[in-house]
Amino acid sequence: MMDIREKVRTGGLFQGYAYGYPHKMAYRRLTPPVPLRDAWADEPKEALFLYAHVPFCSVRCGFCNLFTVTGEGAAKNRVIGYLDALAQQTEAVHAALGSGAKVARIAIGGGTPTFLTTGELERLFKLLRSFQSGVSDLPIAIEMSPDSVDADKLAFLRENGVTRASLGVQSFVEKDTRALGRPQKAAAVETALAAMDAARFPVRNIDLIYGMEGQTWEDWLASLRATLRHAPEEIFLYPLYVRPLTGLGRKDKRATDAREELYRRGRDFLLSRGYTQISMRLFRSAKHPGECDVHYCCQEDGMVGLGAGARSYTRALHYSTEWAVGRNSVQEILDYYSATKDHSFATYGATLDLDDQRRRYVIKSILRASGIDLAAYRAVFESDALEDFPQLNLLIEHGAAMLTPTHLLPTLLGLEWSDVIGPWLYSEHVQEAIAAFELR
Ligand SMILES: C[S@@+](CC[C@H](N)C(=O)[O-])C[C@H]1O[C@@H](n2cnc3c(N)ncnc32)[C@H](O)[C@@H]1O
Ligand code: SF4
């Protein structure tokens, strides 16, 4: 294994975003398919995270490789069939989990969930309530784009219990959104933000991207300043990754060489304005109502994914539908999902042995400012994190982490190295599976 500092020196800060482990490119067809009833039989189910994926957008942005069908016609024509399938899947998954299953929080992601009309969203909420009554009292997060919201839709979402509204702005500078291949007018962003502010969500989040071609520090600062005018409770700063088969990837576009500098200056700017850094990308204001719901701990509890493109996590099995980026492949997978009659099996995914489970825990913890809780790790795995992963000592040696009596915490440098540390901790077999994945 290459020394982490050498890896940073040779490959730079932006080597891979480890938002899940194993990465979805390590998923394969499961043979034979696994009955969901078996997959969930011995899992703790009293505080589940329910995730519903809405894989539709009006246009495909040049930077985006998320699982989504785009184009007004292609997307609109598929919504009804998709919601029908989602209802069938909800019923099948609920039956497989059994009556003891209890959801503690919900996220509706995409694509762009607010691409749906208010009537369609109403159907989606009804469906979530069929999984569990009283969901409106739980924390509910939703992702939105500026071109798909208005005051009525946002009021509807708030009335239906949405507690975290996240708006993908990416940039307030039109030259920069153009460079991202995202058709967006700055005026439309301000209208959407004013409506989001007025709807009184307890948590408002704004997503920004830095590092597109031609972006200067002045451009980046203008976007950060415009963001702060709304004083959102959360801000995500995403470094631009140009990925294969995306619009930018097909045109051989590259991120600017200034990404590292833009990251550091952006981070320092938000820290100087009273925001706290939660992870490399996430910053929270002092008004934020709290870390995460006490009933849900991000490390240990299961995720139940509904919809094409949604992932589900048990301790030993992660599964989803297939994933693709190319237009035809995404449509094919979505249409297959909508035509599926039996949703009671996992057919595609990755199994996690004990080593993978430990790695997942370590990767997810060390990439957050709260770090690895050493006693919690010991309680779950009956072993010591630093003995299981001696390479963590290198992080301490290089000043990327520090050991306290209870935690291994990433330093400011450690958070800066997140997109190197994550992939550096992947197991060999996961790295091989990712390398062999055929993207379509
Ligand atoms: C589901 S989208 C957000 C909601 C909505 N679809 C939108 O675009 O406004 C998730 C976020 O991931 C970020 N993102 C996606 N692909 C990215 C990439 N290649 N590089 C950097 N950030 C990316 C963007 O900031 C985006 O807002
Ligand atoms: S960035 Fe958002 S709006 Fe654009 S294609 Fe991706 S999911 Fe859709």
What's the CATH number where 117 sits?
3.30.750.200
pLDDT of residue 291: 62
One domain for residues 122 and 224:
yes
The pLDDT assigned to 290 comes to: 82
For residue 300, is pLDDT > 80? no
**Average pLDDT along the chain:** 96
pLDDT digits (tens, 9 = 90+) for 399-437: 999 999 999 999 999 999 999 999 999 999 999 999 999
Please give the pLDDT value at position 210: 98
| Mean pLDDT (whole number) for 175-190 | 97
Atom of ligand 2 nearest to the CA of 64: 6
223 plus 364 within the same structural domain: no
| Spatial separation of the C-alpha atoms in residues 63 and 131, rounded to whole Å | 34
Using the predicted structure, report yes or no on whether residue 103 has a pLDDT greater than 60. Answer: yes
Which of 66, 147, 234 maximizes ligand 1 atoms within 8 Å of its Cβ, making it the mutation to test the pocket?
A: 66
Token code pair at residue 216 = 């200067």
Residues 145, 271: one domain?
yes
**Same domain? 100 vs 203:** yes
Predicted confidence band of residue 296 (pLDDT cuts 50, 70, 90): very low
Q: Kindly state whether residues 221 and 73 are assigned to the same domain.
A: yes
Cβ of 378 less than 6 Å from ligand 1:
no
Residue nearest to atom 21 of ligand 1 (CA): 240
Q: Which of 170, 209, 242, 246 to mutate to test the pocket of ligand 1 (most atoms within 8 A of CB)?
A: 209
Task: Give the Cα separation of 314 and 370 in Å (integer).
Answer: 23
pLDDT band of residue 298 (cuts 50, 70, 90) is low
Is residue 302 over pLDDT 70? yes
Q: DSSP 3-state assignment of 270? A: helix
Given this model, what pLDDT does residue 134 score? 84
Asked if residue 428 belongs to a domain, the reply is: yes
Residues 280 and 360 in one domain: no
Of 284, 319, 335, the position where a domain reaches its end is: 284
Residue 302 domain flag: no
Mean pLDDT of 361-380: 97
In this predicted model, what pLDDT tens digit does every residue of 208-234 receive, in sequence order?
Answer: 999 999 999 999 999 999 999 999 999
Q: Atom 15 (ligand 1): residue with closest C-alpha?
A: 64
* Domain-located, residue 11: no
Same domain flag for 277 and 367: no
pLDDT of 122: 98
Question: How many separate domains does the chain show?
Answer: 2
Residue 338 covered by a domain: no
Name the strand (E) or helix (H) holding 169. Answer: strand 164-170
Do 220 and 361 lie in one domain? The reply is no
134 vs 129: CA distance, rounded Å:
7
* 360 Cβ below 6 A of ligand 2: no
Residue 224: inside a domain = yes
pTM of the entire structure?
A: 0.97
Nearest bound ligand to CA 58? 2
Residue 264 lies in a domain: yes
Query: From the CB of 143, is ligand 1 less than 6 Å away?
Result: yes
Instruction: Indicate whether 340 belongs to any domain.
Output: no
pLDDT of residue 72: 84
Considering the domain boundaries, does residue 158 fall inside one? yes
Q: How far is CA 57 from CA 70, 116, 367, in A?
A: 5, 9, 30
Predicted confidence band of residue 136 (pLDDT cuts 50, 70, 90): confident
* Top mutation candidate among 53, 54, 56, 57 for ligand 2, by most atoms within 8 Å of CB: 57
CA separation, residue 422 to residues 2, 11, 297, 332 (Å): 13, 14, 20, 31
130 and 277 inside one domain? yes
Q: Ligand 2: does its nearest atom lie under 6 Å from the Cβ of 110?
A: yes
Please state, in angstroms and rounded to a whole number, the distance separating the CA atoms of residues 255 and 234. 25
Q: Which residue's CA is the nearest one to ligand 2's atom 6?
A: 64
Whole domain around residue 31: which residue ranges? 25-284
> Bridge-partner residues for 409, per DSSP?
402
Same domain, 258 and 117: yes
The CATH number that applies at residue 390 is 1.10.10.920
Same domain, 361 and 268: no
Q: Is the pLDDT of residue 295 over 70?
A: no
Residue 416 to residue 210: CA distance in whole angstroms: 15
Is a pLDDT exceeding 50 seen at residue 240?
yes
Å from CA of 95 to ligand 1 middle:
33
What percentage of the chain reaches a pLDDT higher than 70?
98
Q: How confident is the model at residue 292 (pLDDT cuts 50, 70, 90)?
A: low
Residue nearest to atom 2 of ligand 2 (CA): 111
Q: Which of 229, 252, 284 is the last residue of a domain?
A: 284
User: In the listed set 230, 261, 284, which residue is the last one of a domain according to the structure?
Assistant: 284
- The verdict on 254 and 375 lying in the same domain is no
Q: What is the mean pLDDT of residues 286-309?
A: 75
Query: What was the pLDDT predicted at 1?
Result: 79
Beta bridge partners of 144: 167
